[in-house]
Amino acid sequence: MTSPAPFPVSVRRGVPLAEHTTLGIGGPAELFLEPQRPEDLAERLDALDRDGVPFRLLGGGANLLAPDGGVPGAVLATGRMRRVFREGERGLRAWAGATLPQLVRTARELGLSGLEPLVGVPGQLGGALAMNAGSAQWGIWDVVVEAVVWRPVPGGGGEVVALDRATVAPRYRDGNLRGAVVLEALLELTPSDRARVRAAEEALLKRKNATQPVSASSAGCAFRNPPGDSAGRLIDAAGLKGLRVGGAAVSERHANFVVDLGGATAADVRTLLARVEETVAERFGVRLERELVVWPEPERPVAAAG
Ligand SMILES: Cc1cc2nc3c(=O)[nH]c(=O)nc-3n(C[C@H](O)[C@H](O)[C@H](O)COP(=O)(O)OP(=O)(O)OC[C@H]3O[C@@H](n4cnc5c(N)ncnc54)[C@H](O)[C@@H]3O)c2cc1C
């Protein structure tokens, strides 16, 4: 048994979510909770669920549009749960808040191959499992042996269970978690050597830097690629590159990225997304599906910290 940390969960009120999302957009979280360890997160989830307090999970905020009016109830942020452990010859066990750059670097330093497609991708392990983050042909679940999750049980509170990939059945850019919260996960990688892993990462990074608006505020791809096509190609072909609503715009560099040119609001981004969807549907008869997670506006704005 480990002794409990002195402050297992930091609790603050009215924390602006704009400071915790890569788009830099979002009003205050009524309660902003940052657990230190997976067990602290599970305990809080039990308590919130029993008390009927609504909650949402926040990783690196790299695929998220947070509402202008803020989030009532609790936002549980995993950013302080960052530990990564080696497990056996090929395994890395990591807590939900381990960052993707941290995991990519750790794997490389240990001479383990398998996480190269995540080079240059921001965010944390829990968010990556929720999104099945990766490339067109690969998602992080391809290397997950088990995810330890909290999930609600009838009557209130929850249970902690280990789920394997087959049980979860993740899909392209969708971890299919169905309300489960990732506490930690075990990844299985392939022994290789550092130089080879680094070379693969560098080739990928070069391609990303050439095609993506890496220095702009964005939240990655806004839409999933439709089967056999690319959302970016369709948006570009519809003439929408550079389309602007308020401070938000379709990137000139990569049409599937929405960027904040300065002062964008969540309302700007939602209007822009809707215009893109309508235009692509009219021009090509394709209904784009959102990859970007959009949290709804609250009925009443949440108060900022006083
Ligand atoms: C410049 C840039 C490049 C990007 N490139 C790529 C790319 O190549 N491939 C790709 O797939 N994505 C890419 N993305 C998107 C993003 O990096 C990934 O989706 C990433 O995995 C999101 O992780 P996060 O921790 O930031 O999740 P968040 O944005 O914080 O959350 C995303 C979703 O996951 C949920 N969630 C968060 N933590 C947990 C948890 N512990 N348990 C359950 N649910 C949870 C949230 O509630 C939310 O629904 C890019 C983003 C940017 C800004």
Query: How confident is the model over 71-75, as a mean pLDDT?
Result: 98
HEC letters along 56-110: EEECCCCCEECCCCCEEEEEEECCCCCCEEEECCCEEEEECCCEHHHHHHHHHHC
Domain ranges of the chain: 9-77, 84-195, 223-290
Residue 1 has pLDDT above 50, yes or no: no
pLDDT at 20: 98
Q: Ligand 1 pocket check: which of 33, 48, 56, 57 to mutate, most ligand atoms within 8 Å of Cβ?
A: 57
14: left (phi > 0), else alpha (psi -120 to 50), else beta?
A: left
Residue 4 has pLDDT above 60, yes or no: no
pLDDT tens-digit map of 174-191:
999 999 999 999 999 999
Ligand 1 contacts CB of residue 31 (under 6 A): no
CA of 123 to the centre of ligand 1 (A): 5
Ligand 1 contacts CB of residue 24 (under 6 A): no
Q: Parallel, antiparallel, or unpaired for β 28-35 and 9-16? A: antiparallel
pLDDT tens-digit map of 10-23:
999 999 999 999 99
Instruction: Please identify, by atom number, the ligand 1 atom nearest to the C-alpha of residue 139.
Output: 11
pLDDT band at 5 (very low <50, low <70, confident <90, very high): low
The one catalytic residue in 34, 173, 270, 277 is 173
Residue 120 in tokens:
């240059």
Within 13 A of 154's CA, how many CA atoms are on the CB side? 0
CATH number corresponding to 9-77:
3.30.43.10
Instruction: Please identify, by atom number, the ligand 1 atom nearest to the C-alpha of residue 129.
Output: 21
Task: Please list the residues that pair with 184 across neighbouring strands.
Answer: 95, 148
Instruction: Please identify, by atom number, the ligand 1 atom nearest to the C-alpha of residue 213.
Output: 1
Residue 175 in tokens:
């971890």
C-alpha dist (Å) from residue 87 to 93, 110, 177, 189: 6, 12, 24, 11
Ligand 1 contacts CB of residue 106 (under 6 A): no
pLDDT at 242: 97
pLDDT tens-digit map of 237-253:
999 999 999 999 999 99
Query: How confident is the model over 217-242, as a mean pLDDT?
Result: 96
pLDDT band at 214 (very low <50, low <70, confident <90, very high): confident
Cβ neighbours, 10 Å, residue 137 = 8
Ligand 1 contacts CB of residue 130 (under 6 A): yes
Query: How confident is the model over 164-168, as a mean pLDDT?
Result: 97
HEC letters along 93-158: EEECCCEHHHHHHHHHHCCEECCHHHCCCCCEHHHHHHHCCECCCCEHHHHEEEEEEEEECCCCCE
CATH topology of domain 84-195: 3.30.465
Q: For the whole model, what pTM was predicted?
A: 0.96
Residue 65 has pLDDT above 90, yes or no: yes
pLDDT tens-digit map of 89-116:
999 999 999 999 999 999 999 999 999 9
The one catalytic residue in 30, 108, 201, 221 is 221
Whether 173 is a known active-site residue: answer: yes
pLDDT band at 6 (very low <50, low <70, confident <90, very high): low
CA of 60 to the centre of ligand 1 (A): 7
**Percent of the chain having pLDDT more than 90?**
93
Query: How confident is the model over 129-150, as a mean pLDDT?
Result: 97
Ligand 1 contacts CB of residue 112 (under 6 A): no
CA of 178 to the centre of ligand 1 (A): 16
Whether 297 is a known active-site residue: answer: no
CA of 2 to the centre of ligand 1 (A): 30
pLDDT at 170: 98
Pick the CATH number of 223-290 from 3.40.50.720, 3.90.78.10, 3.40.50.300, 3.40.50.170: 3.90.78.10
Residue 211 has pLDDT above 80, yes or no: yes
Whether 37 is a known active-site residue: answer: no
